[in-house]
Structure 1
Amino acid sequence: MHVRKFRIGDEAALFKVYFSAIHQVASRDYSQEQIEAWAPVDLDFGIWEGRMRGIDPFVVEADGLLVGYADLQENGYIDHFFVSGDYPRQGTGRLLMETIHESARSRGIETLTSDVSRTAQPFFEHFGFEVIEQRSPRIRGVVVPNALMRKPLSARGE
């Protein structure tokens, strides 16, 4: 496995990662209605392409496939953090989180934040994030609960 920056042309593979993460993994913690609102089969691909290009994520490749991705915005916000439902518990998430911390350190970012799904909260807590607020955002008219999580970074980036 290795991490690289997003490239134009990765969008379709990243959608597969996103879709499988939600439909195969997050489905343990959310209803079918919530899953379909969050990751619909018929998502507008033009919107998806624009989103991926806008967040400019790190991607993880394994065996020639994209198996995970995550971004880090200039303000320390992690907008997307997804590991393929076909590649759980193989170190992809850890590799992405380490990359985010390294990037934050090199960019002088002092705090990481993210709106984290119920499913991913234990993973983020493992890396030192704390729940700041439980939230109930609506996606396509359906409430899909998450939590705002935060991690202050020291001068060492941890």
Structure 2
Amino acid sequence: MNNITSDNHIIIRKGISDDLPEMLQLFTATIDEVCKKDYDLQQLQAWKSGAENEGRWIKVIRDQYVLTAVIENKIVGFCTLDQGNYIDLLFVHKDYQHRGIATMLYQKIEQEALLHHEKELTADVSKTAKIFFEKKGFQVVQEQTVNVKGTSMVNYKMVKHLIS
């Protein structure tokens, strides 16, 4: 296992297929707890249903650059980079919010994009994560309404221009 960094007992490492069950659990629990102030119950249920799409998650691990944050052998966060410049997923466990974990993951993802000479990073960002991404230098390109299993939800197409 090639650990990338360790800070305050947080290890950032590449995600592997064995991480999927824990990542899925973190994904659904985080949506339930952290996002409930921004989305209603029906929206949360529709969003969480993405965890049922096993094929998509297998593809994430196989095709994307996946980083996990681990404390004492427990995954407390993960972030994925698709096509070299699209942040597909960024989630931090509900019990580990506001400890710099998302920032650590994001910084490693940005470094990876810069390593491959990407000019910008993009993301479709929830209402909950919008402030975090703005603090990292992202700007809203447009507010969009997405349809998830027949339920409409607002999120934001965001972009950050990278300076290498």
Give the alignment's Cα RMSD to 1 decimal.
1.7
Please tell me the residue identity of whatever aligns with 1:73. D
Please state if 1:57 is matched with 2:51.
no
Mapped to 2, the partners of 1:50 and 1:69 lie a distance apart of: 15
Q: Which runs of 4+ in 1 moved over 6 A?
A: none
Are the structure 2 counterparts of residues 108 and 42 from structure 1 closer, same or farther at C-alpha, using a change threshold of 3 Å?
closer
SS at match of 2:81: coil
SS at match of 2:36: helix
Mapped to 2, the partners of 1:46 and 1:103 lie a distance apart of: 25
Contact 1:34 / 1:142 at 8 angstroms: preserved in 2? yes
Mapped to 1, the partners of 2:83 and 2:56 lie a distance apart of: 22
Q: Give me the TM-score of the superposition, normalised by structure 2.
A: 0.88
Q: Greater strand share, 1 or 2?
A: 2
- Pairing partner for 1:99 from 77, 97, 108: 108
In the alignment, structure 2 segments of 5+ residues that lack a partner are 1-9
State which drifts further: 30-39 or 68-77.
Answer: 68-77
Q: Aligned ranges for residues 8-23 of structure 1 at < 5 Å?
A: 8-23=17-32
State which drifts further: 28-37 or 72-81.
Answer: 72-81
Mapped to 1, the partners of 2:19 and 2:96 lie a distance apart of: 18
- Report how far residue 49 of structure 1 moved: 3.1
- Pairing partner for 2:37 from 28, 31, 37: 28
- Report how far residue 120 of structure 1 moved: 0.2
Q: Which has the higher contact order (CA 8 A, sep 6+)?
A: 1
Aligned length in residues: 155
- Report how far residue 144 of structure 1 moved: 1.5
